[in-house]
Amino acid sequence: MAHEDRAAHDEVDRIVAAWHRERPDLDVRPLEVLSRVSRLARHLDLARRGAFDRHGLETWEFDVLSALRRAGTPYRLSPGALLTLTLVTSGTMTNRIDRLAEKGLVERQPSPDDRRGVLVQLTPSGLARVDAAFADLLDTERTLLGDLSEQDRTQLASLLREALLPFDAPHPH
């Protein structure tokens, strides 16, 4: 089935057609892309929550655990590094580390480089949980991409990267 046939009558097409009818003086073409991105983000958020829930995790818990997992062996980072990777405040991160430690998913360890500092490290239970949740998440995300060919997925990823680059660029202070 051609891409045009599949996408010809989705909800965004109906919204765009209604705006064309009601406001023919406006260029509503940005809606054709960004409304679809927004709708896909909502579906992705629900699917991710489901994948994490199946492993007893909240989205924020997965974010912290996966940041530690991506750090590589021994799966530990400073609270400051976790702040940078998860974009939350210091107080929020302290609370999150406390809650994850209570669940036995992370532990605090003294920093070998700073006797006053601490490092946050995945426990074996945390490592197993984040690995299982990540595998489930990838299966869920593959399902969301549906029948897109590998070539279409690559092209879509490239186009979205181009759209996001200005937002991910370092900002001068």
User: What pLDDT is attached to residue 133?
Assistant: 97
The three-state secondary structure class of 76 is: strand
Q: Which bin fits 104, alpha (ψ -120 to 50), beta or left (φ > 0)?
A: left
Q: Is 3.40.1280.10 the CATH classification of the domain at 59-131?
A: no
In contact, 113 and 146? CB cutoff 8 Å? no
User: What pLDDT is attached to residue 1?
Assistant: 42
pLDDT in tens, the chain (173 residues): 444 455 458 899 999 999 999 999 999 999 999 999 999 999 999 999 999 999 999 999 999 999 999 999 999 999 989 988 888 888 899 999 999 999 999 999 988 877 788 999 999 999 999 999 999 999 999 999 988 999 999 999 999 999 999 988 766 55
User: What pLDDT is attached to residue 162?
Assistant: 93
User: What pLDDT is attached to residue 169?
Assistant: 73
Place of tokens 């490592």: 127
Assign 3-state DSSP to the chain and report helix, strand, coil percentages, each to 5: 65, 5, 25
Full DSSP string of 103-153: TTSEEEEE-SS-TT-EEEEE-HHHHHHHHHHHHHHHHHHHHHHTT--HHHH
Q: Record the pTM.
A: 0.81
Task: Give the CA diameter of the chain.
Answer: 67
User: What pLDDT is attached to residue 172?
Assistant: 58
Domain with CATH 1.10.10.10 in the chain: 59-131
Radius of gyration of the chain (CA): 21
